[in-house]
Amino acid sequence: MYTSTDEQGLLNNFATEPKMYRAEYPSPEQQKRYIAYGAASMVLVALTIFTAVAIS
């Protein structure tokens, strides 16, 4: 941890910064998985809304 002192004698602590890295583009397999998760989520939301409308 990096610590500095200002003119009034107050301490100021700075957190250590993590290393930066570039994100990698998702592979075709990951892209297909994301599409499947999105479709499953849309079906779940649609069924929840349909159930709420049907009950009320």
Rg (C-alpha) for the chain, rounded Å, is 25
* Helix, strand, coil share (%) of the chain residues, nearest 5: 50, 15, 35
Return d(Cα 2, Cα 17) in angstroms, integer.
10
Is pLDDT at 3 greater than 90 in this prediction?
no
Query: Taking the model in full, what pTM does it have?
Result: 0.57
Is pLDDT at 11 greater than 90 in this prediction?
no
Per-residue model confidence as pLDDT tens digits over 22-53: 999 999 999 999 999 999 999 999 999 999 99
